[in-house]
Amino acid sequence: MEADLSLGSYGRARLDVSAGKALGDGWHAYMAGTGWREDGWRDRSDSDLGNLFFKLGRSTSGTQWNVSLLGSDGRLSGNGLTPDSFYAADRRAIYTAPDETRSRSLQVALNGAHQFNAQDQLQLTLYLRQTRTRANSGDISDAYRDTLLGCQGQPASEGCEADDAPANAVLNSATVRETSYGASLQWSHDGDTHRFAFGAALDMNRSHYTQTTQQAGFDSARNAVPEPGAPVVTQAALDGRDSTVGLFATDTMRLLEGTFLTLAARWNQGRRRTLLNVPTQSDERFTYSRLNPSVGLTHRLLDRLVVFGSASQGTRMPTAIELGCADPANACQLPTGLQADPFLRQVVTRTLEFGGRWQPADATEVTLALYRSDNRDDIVFQRSPVSPLGYFSNFPRRATRAWSWACASAWAA
């Protein structure tokens, strides 16, 4: 059993607890949880989150399995920009409120493995995950701002009287509900010269996105309060469904004493269907497929020094939200509206990495790695040239360079 408590400024507190136990006859259980909260350094910026993990399983001479449960609940406040006049008077001041996101998730997973002999093993994974996120944001009404700009410098007249002004605030809400489930199966063989594995994976996902708005008014603390009887108007509603099938294989070969070559590949085919219900009606279906290879080489230069290098490629499909706002001629204001869903190419990332691992002592290991990643057809949100709105589009190429190091120690009982 282990527990860790930390306290900090602005009301920050975090508690981590974990406990594990061997129950006998191969049974075992493990539990871990985290609770965190803080007041925030700005007004009305308090946030909190928590998660709980539990696993129960059994291990015998040839078979291992476990069932795990992971749940989380978070409430995060992220207030937006503040005008200079407010900031100069009080750095903690915010402009409008609320600006809060509440997220909940639950995941159940089953993992199993069977060892046929000293070299061959079969592994199975099943999972189900549900998430729900709701964001509330109090903002200045566009109609109210347009009225102020139109009446600026004008004498009081019809439409510019104080009583004629529309509601000065709106309460925007966005809700995302998502259900994912899938399975993977892998067979591996650990031989003297080759260590290889191959398998298949299936992932299914269904998501629903809704954006609503409601007329409101600001109170003395600039908190948006819905007007009594004001209707809740749906501005965007989208259903997304996608499925991905993957086939993968990898082989690590011993070329020389201390030299190993790893070859791997994964083929993915994904199908995505986007049903846009509001503000327009559309039903779009896209299919994506790609073969992603990778190659790696390790060589032991000295008794305690190993160098390595690798080249790999990965991809991801556009999300339903990105496809729902991808037409420059019909730009949208996320997350308040979706318009059209033309085709977007999937993102392709190619990575090169080189480094080494040095073990100066039995209980110490130092790793140094340098890598470069090139994103092709990355998906970015950019401003429309004909309006203050925006849309998602593919960006031809972006590169990321970095270096990292790590030092790890271990002790043997």
User: Which one of 156-165, 241-250, 278-287 scores highest in mean pLDDT?
Assistant: 241-250
Give yes or no for residue 338 having a pLDDT over 60: no
Q: What are phi and psi of 140, to 5 degrees?
A: -70, 135
Report the CATH architecture of 1-218. Answer: Beta Barrel (2.40)
Give yes or no for residue 397 having a pLDDT over 80: no
**Over the stretch 348-368, which tens digit does the pLDDT of each residue have?**
999 999 999 999 888 888 998
Instruction: Specify the higher pLDDT residue, 152 or 41.
Output: 41
- Structure confidence at residue 188 as a pLDDT band (50, 70, 90): very high
User: Which one of 148-157, 207-216, 320-329 scores highest in mean pLDDT?
Assistant: 207-216
pLDDT score recorded for residue 262: 97
**Over the stretch 20-40, which tens digit does the pLDDT of each residue have?**
999 999 999 999 999 999 999
pLDDT score recorded for residue 335: 45
Give yes or no for residue 128 having a pLDDT over 70: yes
pLDDT score recorded for residue 293: 97
- Structure confidence at residue 377 as a pLDDT band (50, 70, 90): confident
Among 359, 357, 349, 347, smallest CA distance to 410 is for 359
**Over the stretch 192-216, which tens digit does the pLDDT of each residue have?**
889 999 999 999 999 998 889 999 9
pLDDT score recorded for residue 323: 77
Out of 18-27, 370-379, 391-400, pick the least confident.
391-400
- Structure confidence at residue 409 as a pLDDT band (50, 70, 90): low
pLDDT score recorded for residue 247: 97
Q: Does residue 283 contact residue 275 with C-beta atoms inside 8 Å?
A: yes
- In sequence order, what are the residues at sequence separation of 6 or more whose Cβ sits closer than 8 angstroms to the Cβ of residue 114? 62, 63, 64, 121, 122
Q: What pTM was estimated for this model as a whole? A: 0.81
Question: What is the rounded CA–CA span in Å between residue 410 and residue 413?
Answer: 10
Q: Which residue has the tokens 């082989």?
A: 251
pLDDT score recorded for residue 398: 67
Residue spans in the chain of domains classed CATH 2.40.170.20: 1-218
Tokens of 355: 């480094």
Q: Which residue has the tokens 């207030």?
A: 79
Mean pLDDT computed over 168-177: 90
Question: What is the rounded CA–CA span in Å between residue 79 and residue 365?
Answer: 43
Tokens of 320: 């339903």
Residues 314, 319, 323, 325, CA torsion sign: negative
Q: Which residue has the tokens 């994964």?
A: 266
Give yes or no for residue 154 having a pLDDT over 80: no
pLDDT score recorded for residue 183: 98
- Structure confidence at residue 187 as a pLDDT band (50, 70, 90): very high
Question: What is the rounded CA–CA span in Å between residue 107 and residue 128?
Answer: 6
**Over the stretch 292-311, which tens digit does the pLDDT of each residue have?**
999 999 999 988 999 999 99
Give yes or no for residue 160 having a pLDDT over 80: no
- In sequence order, what are the residues at sequence separation of 6 or more whose Cβ sits closer than 8 angstroms to the Cβ of residue 88? none
What length does the chain have? 413
Tokens of 29: 């259980």
- In sequence order, what are the residues at sequence separation of 6 or more whose Cβ sits closer than 8 angstroms to the Cβ of residue 96? 79, 80, 138, 139, 140, 169, 218, 222, 223, 224
Give yes or no for residue 109 having a pLDDT over 50: yes
pLDDT score recorded for residue 345: 87
